[in-house]
């Protein structure tokens, strides 16, 4: 039997992506090589040349110092700096008289800058070309780059752009080599066997395939929106992504108890619920917190995060999730008792709880210790519970006949798409109409919109909107959504450092290149951490479900 290989086109696309990233980096850097700088200077009094690097924001980092002895201008001196083993974007050289109170006269003859890998890319500037390539800041001068420095004056010159161009032969050779290696690895590695990819087919084992794909698609969309809200220009106040995640949590976790309200009256079922929640979030969360704080010996923050009493940076939802997990059995116990009195009573009780929370407890901060600064959005989770009662208590049976009509489903799909686009774009990059602006600016109404979005998406099977949500990218991101959320901040920071320090990109706090680069780092890392950190702790249940399903079908 021949060994199965991955799809040829997909492997080529993966290899091309890696190769282009390498080519991009190599063409914008000095390509991992030692750079040497030689100055030819003639001076009357002793001067010191300070070599600096200028970064994208104008900051300066000293790289080397060279000393020129005064010889009354008899002959020029050539001095070469120590090897500079780092990529350099722009250079700045300052000539400072050793005796600043005396001053001196300087003739700058030549600048000879070259990388050690090849003489083809050397920069050899004669005196007549220095002013064309460098910005010279100096006192008045005469012909042939002759400068008279009075007491306290400094001669400085900086390159206008990167002065060592890329060696395209070297770039092309390395890029081709990386392409071949990446292509071969992509063909050999069984990436389809990753648990993160295999779990995309669990729909029939957990719930209906339609509902499973829809919810995972919404999770994937939410994770991407969170990334946009933290890195894309103009998307600062999006918040829709975190709203979807909160509402979906309440929706899914309450579903089993809504379908069978007798389960909540069993202590064993409650223990099982908490046990599953612990296995679902704590392993990856603890690993991430240890890497973030333990390796840097920030033990106070480490233990606070372990105990859910500190929520630094983008980890702030973890405290909210932890509190909701603890409260959910009590909430469902109350709604289940109310449901035995009247089927509408749980809906009224949840709606009343949401309104009262927003009205009287909008600023309650759980476990407040000076670090945590977000209010507790309990109403977002309660909206998810309310959506579960609406879906499985009323809408599922009410819309059953309507859902068999393709025209109705497609119309609802169009409505859902338009509503989703308005919810996203009016929340961040676009200015909402004046009448609607107050609603789109408040997190409460964004969560209410997320509730409606979930209900419409779940109830529009076979619509093209549902097929859009169920695309493989959204599906796979939704499966690894928890890891993706935890790691996306790391992806942003890593690409920012990589792009600015190594590639010379001028990235601010928000940049579309930052968003794309962070995704390319975060997504594969999330696939791996889900597969080998998250999945082993709760995968046994899915494995047993698969075996049982296979036995029943035989």
How far apart are alpha carbons 250 and 387 in whole angstroms?
A: 8
Tokens linked to 288: 């991430």
Name 275's Cβ contacts closer than 8 Å, sequence gap at least 6. Answer: none
Q: What is the pLDDT of residue 409?
A: 80
Q: What is the pLDDT of residue 549?
A: 39
Average pLDDT over residues 79-96: 76
CB-based contact 61:534 (threshold 8 Å):
no
Q: What is the pLDDT of residue 369?
A: 52
pLDDT band of residue 545 (cuts 50, 70, 90) is very low
How far apart are alpha carbons 446 and 234 in whole angstroms?
A: 17
pLDDT, tens only, 293-352:
888 778 888 888 888 878 778 888 888 888 899 999 999 999 999 988 888 999 999 999
Tokens linked to 285: 């969360």
How far apart are alpha carbons 182 and 169 in whole angstroms?
A: 20
How far apart are alpha carbons 235 and 7 in whole angstroms?
A: 36
Pick from 4-13, 144-153, 335-344: least confident: 4-13
Q: What is the DSSP letter of 460?
A: -
pLDDT, tens only, 97-127:
888 788 888 888 887 776 655 544 455 555 5
Q: What is the pLDDT of residue 547?
A: 42
Q: Which of 238, 260, 246, 200 is nearest to 477 (CA)?
A: 200
Q: Would residue 297 be called left, alpha or beta, if left means φ above 0 and alpha means ψ between -120 and 50 degrees?
A: left
H helix and E strand count, the chain:
21, 11
Report pTM. Answer: 0.72
Q: Is the pLDDT of residue 548 over 50?
A: no
How far apart are alpha carbons 508 and 495 in whole angstroms?
A: 12
* CATH number for domain 35-165, candidates 3.30.470.10, 1.10.10.10, 2.60.60.40, 2.40.170.20: 2.60.60.40
CB-based contact 5:49 (threshold 8 Å):
no
Annotated domain spans of the chain: 8-27+169-189, 35-165, 193-553
Rg (CA), the chain: 31
CB-based contact 99:47 (threshold 8 Å):
no
Q: Is the pLDDT of residue 469 over 70?
A: yes
The residues with which 90 forms a beta bridge, in sequence order, are 54
Ranges assigned E (strand) in 44-185: 47-54, 60-68, 77-80, 90-97, 104-115, 123-125, 134-137, 141-142, 146-149, 155-159
Choose from 360-364, 405-409, 465-469 the range with maximum mean pLDDT.
465-469
pLDDT band of residue 229 (cuts 50, 70, 90) is very high
Residue with tokens 């601010």: 508
The residues with which 124 forms a beta bridge, in sequence order, are 112
Average pLDDT over residues 387-402: 82
CB-based contact 335:385 (threshold 8 Å):
yes
Q: What is the pLDDT of residue 129?
A: 61
Q: Is the pLDDT of residue 414 over 60?
A: yes
How far apart are alpha carbons 154 and 116 in whole angstroms?
A: 30
pLDDT, tens only, 192-225:
677 777 787 776 566 677 788 889 999 999 999 9
Q: What is the pLDDT of residue 417?
A: 87
Element (H, E) at 38: strand 35-43
């Amino acid at each position: 039997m021949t060994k199965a290989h991955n799809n040829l086109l997909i492997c080529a696309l993966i290899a091309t992506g890696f190769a282009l990233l390498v080519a991009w980096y190599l063409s914008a850097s000095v390509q991992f090589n030692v750079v040497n700088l030689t100055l030819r200077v003639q001076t009357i009094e002793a001067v010191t040349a300070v070599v600096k690097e200028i970064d994208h924001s104008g900051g300066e980092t000293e790289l080397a110092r060279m000393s020129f002895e005064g010889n009354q201008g008899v002959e020029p001196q050539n001095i070469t700096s120590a090897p500079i083993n780092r990529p350099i974007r722009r250079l700045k050289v300052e000539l400072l008289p050793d005796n600043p109170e005396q001053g001196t006269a300087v003739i700058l003859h030549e600048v000879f800058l070259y990388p050690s890998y090849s003489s083809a890319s050397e920069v050899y500037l004669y005196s007549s070309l220095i002013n064309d390539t460098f910005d010279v800041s100096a006192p008045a001068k005469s012909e042939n780059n002759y400068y008279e420095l009075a007491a306290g004056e400094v001669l400085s010159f900086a390159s206008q752009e990167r002065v060592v161009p890329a060696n395209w032969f070297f770039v092309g050779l390395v890029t081709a080599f990386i392409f071949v290696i990446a292509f071969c690895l992509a063909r050999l590695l069984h990436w389809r066997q990753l648990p993160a990819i295999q779990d995309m087919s669990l729909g029939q084992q957990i719930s209906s395939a339609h509902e499973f794909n829809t919810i995972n698609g919404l999770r994937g969309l939410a994770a991407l929106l969170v990334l946009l809200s933290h890195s894309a220009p103009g998307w600062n106040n999006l918040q829709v992504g975190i709203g979807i995640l909160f509402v979906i949590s309440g929706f899914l976790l309450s579903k089993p108890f809504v379908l069978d309200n007798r389960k909540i009256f069993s202590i064993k079922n409650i223990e099982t619920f908490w046990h599953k929640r612990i296995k679902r979030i704590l392993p990856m969360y603890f690993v991430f917190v240890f890497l973030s704080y333990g390796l840097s010996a920030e033990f106070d923050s480490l233990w606070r995060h372990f105990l859910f009493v500190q929520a630094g940076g983008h980890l702030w939802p973890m405290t909210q999730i932890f509190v909701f997990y603890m409260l959910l059995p009590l909430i469902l116990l109350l709604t289940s008792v109310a449901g035995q009195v009247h089927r509408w009573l749980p809906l009224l009780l949840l709606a009343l709880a949401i309104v009262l929370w927003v009205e009287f407890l909008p600023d309650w901060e759980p476990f407040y210790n000076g670090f945590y600064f977000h209010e507790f959005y309990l109403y977002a989770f309660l909206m998810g519970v309310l959506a579960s009662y609406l879906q499985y208590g009323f809408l599922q049976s009410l819309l059953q006949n309507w859902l068999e009509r393709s025209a109705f489903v497609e119309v609802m799909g169009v409505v859902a798409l338009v509503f989703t686009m308005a919810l996203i774009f009016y929340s961040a990059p676009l200015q909402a109409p004046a009448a609607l602006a107050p609603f789109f600016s408040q997190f409460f109404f964004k969560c209410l919109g997320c509730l409606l979005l979930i209900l419409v998406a779940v109830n529009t099977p076979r619509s093209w909107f549902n097929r859009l949500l169920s695309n493989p990218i959204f599906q796979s991101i939704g499966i690894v959504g928890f890891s993706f959320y935890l790691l996306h901040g790391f992806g942003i920071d890593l690409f920012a450092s990589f792009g600015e320090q190594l590639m010379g990109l001028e990235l601010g706090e928000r940049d579309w290149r930052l968003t794309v680069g962070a995704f390319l780092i975060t997504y594969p890392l999330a696939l791996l951490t889900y597969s080998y950190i998250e999945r082993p702790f709760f995968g046994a249940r899915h494995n047993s479900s698969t075996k049982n399903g296979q036995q029943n079908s035989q």
